[in-house]
Structure 1
Amino acid sequence: MIEIPVLIAGGASVGLSMAAELGWRKIPCLLVEQRREVNPHPRANAVGNRTMEYFRRWGVDQKLFNKGVPPDYPADYYWVSSMHGRALHRLSMLSYEQLVQARNSGVADPMAEMYWSPYLKTIVGQQHVERALKEYVQTLECVDSRFGWALRDFEQDAEGVTAQIECLQTGKIEQVRSRYLVGCDGGRSLVRTRLNVPMSGRSNMARFVSIYFRCPDFMEAHSFGHGNIYFPLRKEYSGFLLNWDGGTLWTYHLILPEGKEWNDIDPSQAVWALLGKEVPLEVIEVQPWTAHALTVDQYRVGNVFLAGDAAHKFTPTGGLGMNTGVGDAIELGWKLEAVIRGWAPPCLLDTYHIERHPVGVRNTMEAADNFDKLYSVMQYGPELDADDEHGEALRKALGEELQRQEKILASSGVLLGYRYNATPICVPDGTPEPPDDPRRYVPTARPGHRAPHIWLTPDTSILDLFSPHFTLLDFTGRQAGRQWEKQATSMGVPLTVREIDHAGAKRLYDAELVLVRPDMMVAWRGASDADAQGILQTVTGRAMQPLAA
Structure 2
Amino acid sequence: MSAARVDVLVVGAGPVGLTASILLSRLGITHEVVEARAGLHTAPQAHVVSPRTMEILTRACGVDDSALRAVATPFGQIPVVRWVETLIGREHGNFSLVTQDRVEKMFATTPCPPANISQHRLEPVLLAAALDAGGTVRFGHKWESSTAADNEVTSTVLSHETGKRPEITSRYVLACDGASSPVRRHAGITMDGQAMVEMFTSIHLVGDLRPALGDRPGLLFWCIGGPTRAWFVVHDIERECVMMHPGDPDAPPITDAIARQLVRSAVGTDLDVEIASIAPWRMSSQVARTYRSGRTLLAGDAAHRFPPTGGIGMNTGIADVHNLCWKLADVLAGRADEQLLDTYDVERRPVATTNAEQSLHNHLKMIEVEDAVAAESGVAEAIARQEEHFDMTGLDIGFRYNSAAVINDGIATAHDSGFNPVTDVIATAAPGHRLSHAAVTVDGEMMSSIDLARADDFVLLVAPGSSVWNGCGIPTIEVTGADETWATIRGTDDSGAILLRPDGHVAWRAATAPADPAETVRRALAAARSARRATDQFTQQPK
User: Would you say same fold, with TM above 0.5?
Assistant: yes
SS across alignment from 2:81? strand
Question: What does residue 62 of structure 2 align with?
Answer: 59
Matched, 1:234 2:236: no
Question: What does residue 320 of structure 2 align with?
Answer: 328
1:50 aligned to which of 52, 58, 62? 52
Q: C-alpha distance in 2, partners of 1:117/1:131?
A: 25
RMSD value, Cα:
2.4
Matches within 5 A, 1:163-182: 163-182=155-174
1:487 aligned to which of 446, 454, 472? 472
Q: Answer whether contact 1:233 1:379 (CA < 8 A) is retained.
A: no
Q: C-alpha distance in 1, partners of 2:468/2:6?
A: 37
How big is the shift at 1:424? 1.1
Count of residue correspondences: 512
Q: C-alpha distance in 1, partners of 2:181/2:236?
A: 31
SS across alignment from 1:540? helix
**Which amino acid in the other structure matches residue 64 of structure 1?**
L
SS across alignment from 2:128? helix
Question: What does residue 137 of structure 2 align with?
Answer: 145
Identity %: 28
1:444 aligned to which of 423, 428, 435? 428
Matched, 1:536 2:525: yes
Q: C-alpha distance in 2, partners of 1:459/1:410?
A: 29
Matches within 5 A, 1:359-398: 359-378=351-370, 384=373, 394-398=375-379
Superposed CA deviations along residues 187-239 of structure 1, whole A, max 9, x for unmatched, are 111111111111101121011111111232x2232466110111222375333
Question: What does residue 387 of structure 1 align with?
Answer: none
How big is the shift at 1:456? 3.7
Question: What does residue 80 of structure 1 align with?
Answer: 84
Segment of structure 1 superposing worse, 248-257 or 362-371: 248-257
Q: C-alpha distance in 2, partners of 1:498/1:150?
A: 48
Matches within 5 A, 1:87-486: 87-94=91-98, 112-141=105-134, 143-216=135-208, 218-222=209-213, 225-234=216-225, 237-257=228-248, 260-264=251-255, 266-378=258-370, 384=373, 394-421=375-402, 423-433=403-413, 434=415, 437-456=421-440, 460-468=447-455, 469-474=457-462, 476-480=463-467, 482-483=469-470, 486=471
Q: C-alpha distance in 2, partners of 1:328/1:460?
A: 25
Give TM-score, length-normalised by structure 1: 0.88
Task: Rate the CA distance shift 1:366–1:109 in 2: closer, same or farther, 3 A.
Answer: closer
Q: Answer whether contact 1:32 1:146 (CA < 8 A) is retained.
A: yes
Q: C-alpha distance in 1, partners of 2:452/2:480?
A: 10
**Which amino acid in the other structure matches residue 478 of structure 1?**
G
How big is the shift at 1:481? 6.8
**Which amino acid in the other structure matches residue 382 of structure 2?**
E
Give TM-score, length-normalised by structure 2: 0.89
Segment of structure 1 superposing worse, 343-352 or 78-87: 78-87
How big is the shift at 1:135? 0.5
**Which amino acid in the other structure matches residue 428 of structure 1?**
N
Q: C-alpha distance in 1, partners of 2:245/2:266?
A: 10
Superposed CA deviations along residues 310-347 of structure 1, whole A, max 9, x for unmatched, are 11111100001100111111111010001011111111
Matched, 1:40 2:24: no
Q: Answer whether contact 2:201 2:280 (CA < 8 A) is retained.
A: yes
**Which amino acid in the other structure matches residue 87 of structure 1?**
E
Q: Answer whether contact 1:188 1:310 (CA < 8 A) is retained.
A: yes
**Which amino acid in the other structure matches residue 343 of structure 1?**
R
Superposed CA deviations along residues 401-457 of structure 1, whole A, max 9, x for unmatched, are 221112111111111111113x11112122224556212222222211111112348
SS across alignment from 1:50? helix
Q: C-alpha distance in 2, partners of 1:283/1:308?
A: 29
Task: Rate the CA distance shift 1:488–1:414 in 2: closer, same or farther, 3 A.
Answer: same
Question: What does residue 537 of structure 2 align with?
Answer: none
Question: What does residue 68 of structure 1 align with?
Answer: 72
Q: C-alpha distance in 2, partners of 1:497/1:146?
A: 40
SS across alignment from 2:472? helix
Task: Rate the CA distance shift 1:452–1:130 in 2: closer, same or farther, 3 A.
Answer: same
How big is the shift at 1:155? 1.4
Q: C-alpha distance in 1, partners of 2:249/2:27?
A: 49
Segment of structure 1 superposing worse, 343-352 or 397-406: 397-406
How big is the shift at 1:542? 5.5
Superposed CA deviations along residues 1-59 of structure 1, whole A, max 9, x for unmatched, are 11111111111111111111111111111110112321111101110110000001233
Q: C-alpha distance in 1, partners of 2:369/2:479?
A: 53
Question: What does residue 388 of structure 1 align with?
Answer: none
Q: Answer whether contact 2:83 2:93 (CA < 8 A) is retained.
A: yes
How big is the shift at 1:518? 0.7
Question: What does residue 105 of structure 1 align with?
Answer: none
Q: Answer whether contact 1:166 1:174 (CA < 8 A) is retained.
A: yes
Task: Rate the CA distance shift 1:124–1:397 in 2: closer, same or farther, 3 A.
Answer: same
Superposed CA deviations along residues 498-541 of structure 1, whole A, max 9, x for unmatched, are 43343322222222322211111111222342322221122212
Segment of structure 1 superposing worse, 446-455 or 77-86: 77-86
SS across alignment from 1:162? strand
SS across alignment from 1:194? helix
SS across alignment from 2:309? coil
Structure 1 unaligned runs (5+)? 96-101, 103-107, 385-390, 490-494
SS across alignment from 2:378? helix
Q: Answer whether contact 2:362 2:386 (CA < 8 A) is retained.
A: yes
SS across alignment from 1:134? helix
**Which amino acid in the other structure matches residue 411 of structure 2?**
T
Q: C-alpha distance in 2, partners of 1:168/1:415?
A: 38
**Which amino acid in the other structure matches residue 239 of structure 1?**
A
SS across alignment from 1:432? coil
How big is the shift at 1:113? 2.5
Task: Rate the CA distance shift 1:109–1:459 in 2: closer, same or farther, 3 A.
Answer: farther
SS across alignment from 1:295? strand
Superposed CA deviations along residues 164-184 of structure 1, whole A, max 9, x for unmatched, are 112111112111111111111
SS across alignment from 1:173? coil
